Structure 1
Amino acid sequence: MHASFFRIFQNTLYFYNYLNMRSLSNGLISASFLSHDSMKNYFLFSEKFFSYYVKFIFRIHAAYGGNH
Protein backbone atom coordinates (compact mmCIF):
# COMPACT_ATOMS: atom_id res chain seq x y z
CA MET A 1 0.00 0.00 0.00
CA HIS A 2 2.75 2.39 1.00
CA ALA A 3 4.73 2.12 -2.23
CA SER A 4 1.69 2.26 -4.48
CA PHE A 5 0.41 5.35 -2.70
CA PHE A 6 3.63 7.21 -3.34
CA ARG A 7 3.69 6.05 -6.95
CA ILE A 8 0.19 7.45 -7.43
CA PHE A 9 1.17 10.66 -5.68
CA GLN A 10 4.30 10.99 -7.81
CA ASN A 11 2.34 10.42 -11.00
CA THR A 12 -0.13 13.07 -9.86
CA LEU A 13 2.73 15.51 -9.38
CA TYR A 14 4.09 14.74 -12.84
CA PHE A 15 0.64 15.14 -14.36
CA TYR A 16 0.07 18.43 -12.55
CA ASN A 17 3.43 19.74 -13.74
CA TYR A 18 2.59 18.63 -17.26
CA LEU A 19 -0.73 20.47 -17.14
CA ASN A 20 0.94 23.59 -15.79
CA MET A 21 3.62 23.52 -18.48
CA ARG A 22 0.99 23.04 -21.17
CA SER A 23 -1.16 25.86 -19.88
CA LEU A 24 1.92 28.08 -19.58
CA SER A 25 2.93 27.48 -23.19
CA ASN A 26 -0.67 27.88 -24.33
CA GLY A 27 -0.80 31.07 -22.30
CA LEU A 28 2.31 32.39 -24.01
CA ILE A 29 0.87 31.56 -27.41
CA SER A 30 -2.54 33.08 -26.70
CA ALA A 31 -1.32 35.90 -24.48
CA SER A 32 -2.84 38.44 -26.83
CA PHE A 33 -6.29 36.88 -26.35
CA LEU A 34 -6.17 36.40 -22.61
CA SER A 35 -5.94 39.17 -20.09
CA HIS A 36 -3.29 38.92 -17.41
CA ASP A 37 -5.96 38.68 -14.72
CA SER A 38 -7.61 35.59 -16.13
CA MET A 39 -4.28 33.77 -16.26
CA LYS A 40 -3.53 34.85 -12.71
CA ASN A 41 -6.94 33.63 -11.56
CA TYR A 42 -6.42 30.31 -13.31
CA PHE A 43 -3.13 29.70 -11.54
CA LEU A 44 -4.54 30.77 -8.18
CA PHE A 45 -7.43 28.38 -8.67
CA SER A 46 -5.25 25.47 -9.79
CA GLU A 47 -2.86 25.91 -6.86
CA LYS A 48 -5.74 26.08 -4.40
CA PHE A 49 -7.34 23.00 -5.96
CA PHE A 50 -4.04 21.12 -5.90
CA SER A 51 -3.42 21.87 -2.22
CA TYR A 52 -6.91 20.59 -1.37
CA TYR A 53 -6.25 17.51 -3.49
CA VAL A 54 -2.97 16.80 -1.69
CA LYS A 55 -4.62 17.16 1.72
CA PHE A 56 -7.40 14.84 0.58
CA ILE A 57 -4.91 12.22 -0.64
CA PHE A 58 -2.94 12.38 2.60
CA ARG A 59 -6.13 12.05 4.63
CA ILE A 60 -7.07 8.91 2.69
CA HIS A 61 -3.54 7.60 3.10
CA ALA A 62 -3.63 8.21 6.85
CA ALA A 63 -7.01 6.51 7.14
CA TYR A 64 -6.27 3.42 5.03
CA GLY A 65 -2.50 3.16 4.59
CA GLY A 66 -1.07 5.05 7.51
CA ASN A 67 1.53 3.38 9.70
CA HIS A 68 -0.34 0.16 10.39
Structure 2
Amino acid sequence: MSNRYEIIIYWSERDDVYIAEVPELPGCQADGKSYQEAVSNAEVIIGEWIETARELGREIPQPKGRLMFA
Protein backbone atom coordinates (compact mmCIF):
# COMPACT_ATOMS: atom_id res chain seq x y z
CA MET A 1 0.00 0.00 0.00
CA SER A 2 2.80 2.49 0.80
CA ASN A 3 3.95 2.82 -2.80
CA ARG A 4 0.56 4.18 -3.90
CA TYR A 5 0.69 7.48 -2.07
CA GLU A 6 1.41 10.58 -4.10
CA ILE A 7 4.90 11.99 -3.50
CA ILE A 8 5.60 15.61 -4.43
CA ILE A 9 9.29 16.33 -5.01
CA TYR A 10 10.91 19.73 -5.30
CA TRP A 11 14.33 21.32 -4.88
CA SER A 12 14.95 23.39 -1.76
CA GLU A 13 17.52 26.14 -2.39
CA ARG A 14 17.58 26.94 1.32
CA ASP A 15 18.39 23.37 2.37
CA ASP A 16 20.32 22.39 -0.79
CA VAL A 17 18.39 19.11 -1.05
CA TYR A 18 15.36 17.62 -2.77
CA ILE A 19 12.28 17.52 -0.55
CA ALA A 20 9.74 14.71 -0.94
CA GLU A 21 6.34 15.39 0.63
CA VAL A 22 3.48 12.90 1.03
CA PRO A 23 0.39 15.13 1.27
CA GLU A 24 -2.03 12.36 2.24
CA LEU A 25 0.00 11.55 5.38
CA PRO A 26 0.24 14.68 7.54
CA GLY A 27 3.82 15.60 8.40
CA CYS A 28 5.26 12.85 6.22
CA GLN A 29 8.25 14.13 4.27
CA ALA A 30 11.85 13.24 3.55
CA ASP A 31 14.82 14.75 1.79
CA GLY A 32 17.83 13.68 -0.22
CA LYS A 33 20.86 15.06 -2.03
CA SER A 34 19.55 13.49 -5.26
CA TYR A 35 16.05 13.06 -6.66
CA GLN A 36 16.39 9.29 -6.33
CA GLU A 37 17.60 9.53 -2.74
CA ALA A 38 14.61 11.72 -1.81
CA VAL A 39 12.20 9.18 -3.33
CA SER A 40 13.94 6.29 -1.59
CA ASN A 41 13.90 8.10 1.75
CA ALA A 42 10.21 8.97 1.26
CA GLU A 43 9.37 5.30 0.74
CA VAL A 44 11.07 4.46 4.05
CA ILE A 45 9.30 7.30 5.86
CA ILE A 46 5.90 6.27 4.47
CA GLY A 47 6.40 2.81 5.95
CA GLU A 48 7.46 4.27 9.28
CA TRP A 49 4.52 6.71 9.29
CA ILE A 50 2.08 3.83 8.73
CA GLU A 51 3.77 1.63 11.35
CA THR A 52 3.61 4.41 13.94
CA ALA A 53 -0.04 5.16 13.15
CA ARG A 54 -0.90 1.48 13.66
CA GLU A 55 0.96 1.37 16.97
CA LEU A 56 -0.95 4.44 18.16
CA GLY A 57 -4.29 3.13 16.90
CA ARG A 58 -4.70 6.01 14.47
CA GLU A 59 -6.51 5.91 11.16
CA ILE A 60 -4.37 5.33 8.09
CA PRO A 61 -5.68 7.16 5.02
CA GLN A 62 -6.21 5.07 1.91
CA PRO A 63 -4.08 6.21 -1.02
CA LYS A 64 -6.12 8.30 -3.43
CA GLY A 65 -3.57 8.50 -6.19
CA ARG A 66 -2.92 11.73 -7.98
CA LEU A 67 -4.10 14.71 -5.96
CA MET A 68 -2.52 17.63 -7.78
CA PHE A 69 -2.50 18.65 -11.39
CA ALA A 70 0.38 20.28 -13.21
TM over 0.5: no
Bigger helix fraction: 1
Specify which structure has the bigger relative contact order, considering alpha-carbon pairs within 8 angstroms and separated by 6 or more residues: 1
- Which of the five TM-score ranges fits, normalised by the shorter chain? 0.3 to 0.5
- TM-score, length of structure 1 as denominator length: 0.41
Of the two, which has the highest radius of gyration?
1
